[in-house]
Amino acid sequence: MAADIRRLKEKLAIIEDLRGASSVLSWDQETYLPPDGIEARASQLATLERVIHERFTSDEIGELIEEAEAEIQAEVQAEVQAEVRADGPAEAGLEADAGLIRVVRREYDRSTSLPVEHVVRFAETTARAMPAWNRARSESDFQLFRPHLEAIVDLCREKAEAIGYTNEPYDALLDEFEPGMTTADVEREFLDLRSRLVPIVDAIAEKEAPSAEVLHQTFDEVKQWDFGLDVIRDFGFDFDRGRQDHSAHPFTIHFASTDVRITTRVDKLFFSPGFFGTLHAAGHGMYEQGVAGELARTPLAHGSSLGMHESQSRLWENQVGRSRQFWTRYYPDLQALFPAELADVDGESFYRAVNRVQPSLIRVEADEVTYNLHVMLRFELERALITGDLLVKDLPSAWNEKMEAYLGLRPGNDAEGVLQDIHWSMGALGYFPTYSLGTLMSSQIFDTAQKELPDLSEEIGRGHFNHLLGWLQENIYRHGRIYTSQDLLERVTGSKLDSSHWLAYIRSKFGGIYGDLP
């Protein structure tokens, strides 16, 4: 390895350690922080952001990136001329170095365009906004959160202007979470998807829905928790390299591929959120645990993009965890755990219950079919906040109107409406679209896995997931961020993002439950 790349990597390892530390503080903030510790934590996180930003945007790193770019270009050229390719895993070779430089150049350019004062204000503002959101949500009072969100929207607009964009400021925000995607791409994808999805939703609405009453009973929380852990242990989530804790809003965070934390919220009166939340988080978690050790302490030691990440949480939650085969294997276990509650319900009914399609108010509890409508709504609202077409003070009513238009429902209060998601309080505007992009990718990837692993369905029916996990590790997880999500998707599936996979999956699966669908 050339000297400049090595020196650059040494500098970046320090940055990665500090980012890991910052993530530990964020994790603790959402899991164990005592209420009066919020202010001090805000200072600590802001300081870490400041130190990271100062170190990362230093001239020295800028020069090392430039020199490394030249070195990489020379090496690629030499390889092409010599018509040889180094053997060994991509994670230790030239491809990884090229990926590293791509990722670092992009982050460097983004970061150097932001003054450190902006970064510190952003960290402080969001550290205070998150607990305010929590309180606002529990009291169902948007006004408690409103000044925080106003500050955040201002900061996001400031950020977009500083970073720059081609068409509209939202591009700059989206690009943070899904590098390479533009607002126009998302809009086109969503318009197309909606036009094909709405007839399916309408058709299902005409049919008789299976009952989901079985899910709404009193389920002992500890038993729920343990059942979820048992299943993700079978999936292959490695508890020597991770753990699950409780938090108000479930999330996954990692400090290294050897230290991945997932969180879940268990509802004593409703089985689905806790259990499927655990599977979802485990999907994210196994992605991070699967990143090659060679990439440790580099900026490549993370999933490729949020969309690709979501494809994995959705794949394990839905393609696996809501499949008929899965419940063939696990329903008897669940029945044994809750004999009184599940005595009168057979496996097929339970499978139908967890797949009941029903427009609802809460995104994280939405069924697979209507889920994307929740995301589209958020995308449109946050885009309008950034363009300035929508003011924060008008957000609750805009939310409620769109909910009525898209899902035929009106939230009874802000807690089940505009306050339900944590993302805006974290300053993560531009994040939501990745949920739908990931959902679409998940089907495309799972279709490929099924082709290459012909026994996959049958294996899921036996609770054997090692081939699937191995295939995903080999094709996706181990690469970390070496490839962009678009390139990675094409490498794995042979084609660009194509929503017809997901639509076919929905038609086939829900056709099996509801009868033929358009």
Binding residues for its own copies restricted to 190-209, rule: CB under 8 A: none
Q: Which is nearer to its own copies, 15 or 445 (CB)?
A: 15
Between residues 51 and 132, which has the closer beta carbon with respect to its own copies? 51
CA–CA separation, 438 and 252 (whole Å): 16
Nearest distance from residue 91's CB to its own copies, in Å? 17
Q: Which of 2, 7, 11, 24 binds its own copies (CB under 8 A)?
A: 24
Size of the site for its own copies (CB under 8 A): 39
Taking the least distance from each CB to its own copies, the nearer of 40 and 86 is 40
Question: In terms of CB distance, is 255 or 331 closer to its own copies?
Answer: 255
Which residue from 13, 92, 205, 384 is in contact with its own copies, where contact means CB under 8 A?
A: 13
Query: What does the alpha-carbon distance between residue 475 and residue 385 come to, in Å, rounded to a whole number?
Result: 38
Q: How far is the CB of 296 from its own copies (least distance, A)?
A: 7
Distance CA 65, CA 59 (A): 10
CA distance 392 to 398: 10
In whole angstroms, the minimum distance from the beta carbon of 400 to its own copies comes to 35
Which C-beta is closer to its own copies: that of 51 or that of 337?
A: 51
Of 20, 62, 511, 512, the one binding its own copies (CB under 8 A) is: 20
Q: How far is the CB of 282 from its own copies (least distance, A)?
A: 14
Q: Report the residue number, 40 or 198, with the smaller CB distance to its own copies.
A: 40
Q: Please, are residues 384 and 167 in contact by the beta-carbon 8 Å criterion?
A: no
Say if residue 425 is exposed, middle or buried (CB neighbours under 10 Å; 0-12, 13-18, 19+). Answer: buried
Please report how close the Cβ of residue 16 comes to its own copies at its closest, in angstroms. Answer: 9
Name the strand (E) or helix (H) holding 159. helix 142-163
CB-based contact 349:210 (threshold 8 Å): yes
Q: How does 19-28 read in b/e, with b if 16+ C-beta sit within 10 Å? A: bbbbbeebbe
Structure tokens of 514? 């509801």
Amino acid identity at 285:
G
Q: Which is nearer to its own copies, 297 or 464 (CB)?
A: 297
Minimum distance, C-beta of residue 301 to its own copies, in the bound complex (Å): 10
Residues 44-63 that bind its own copies (CB under 8 A): 44, 46-48, 50-51
| C-beta separation of 92 from 478 below 8 A | no
Nearer to its own copies, 37 or 511 (CB): 37
- Window 272-291: residues binding its own copies (CB under 8 A): none
Q: Decide if 305 contacts 177 (C-beta within 8 A).
A: yes
**Is the CB of 26 or the CB of 305 nearer to its own copies?**
26
* 296 contacts its own copies (rule: CB under 8 A): yes
Residues 213-272 that bind its own copies (CB under 8 A): 238-243, 245, 255-256, 258-259
Site map 28..47 versus its own copies, x via CB under 8 A: x---xxxxxx-xxx-xx-xx
Regarding beta strands 259-264 and 242-246, do their DSSP bridges make them parallel or antiparallel, or are they unpaired? Answer: parallel
| Total residues belonging to the chain | 518
Considering only residues 323 to 382 of the shown chain, the ones binding its own copies according to CB under 8 A are none
What is 202-246 written as a DSSP string? HHHHHSPPPP-GGGSS---HHHHHHHHHHHHHHHT--TTSEEEEE
User: CB of 131: closest distance to its own copies in angstroms?
Assistant: 12
Identify residue 482 by its one-letter amino acid code.
I
Closest distance between its own copies and the C-beta of residue 53, in Å?
13
171: phi then psi, degrees, rounded to nearest 5: -50, -45
Beta carbon of residue 24, minimum distance to its own copies (angstroms, whole number): 5
Q: How many CB atoms lie within 10 A of CB 218?
A: 11
Q: Taking phi first (over 0 means left), then psi (-120 to 50 degrees means alpha), and beta for anything else, what does residue 463 get?
A: left
Least Å distance, CB 118 to its own copies, is: 17
Nearer to its own copies, 255 or 351 (CB): 255
Selected range binding its own copies among 24-32, 408-416, 444-452, 479-487, rule: CB under 8 A: 24-32
DSSP annotation of 317 reads I
Q: How far apart are CA 83 and CA 90, in angstroms?
A: 17
Give the residue with the Cβ less far from its own copies, 239 or 401.
Answer: 239
Alpha-carbon gap, residue 418 to 420, rounded angstroms: 6
Given the rule CB under 8 A, which residues bind its own copies?
13-14, 17-18, 20-22, 24-25, 28, 32-37, 39-41, 43-44, 46-48, 50-51, 238-243, 245, 255-256, 258-259, 296-297
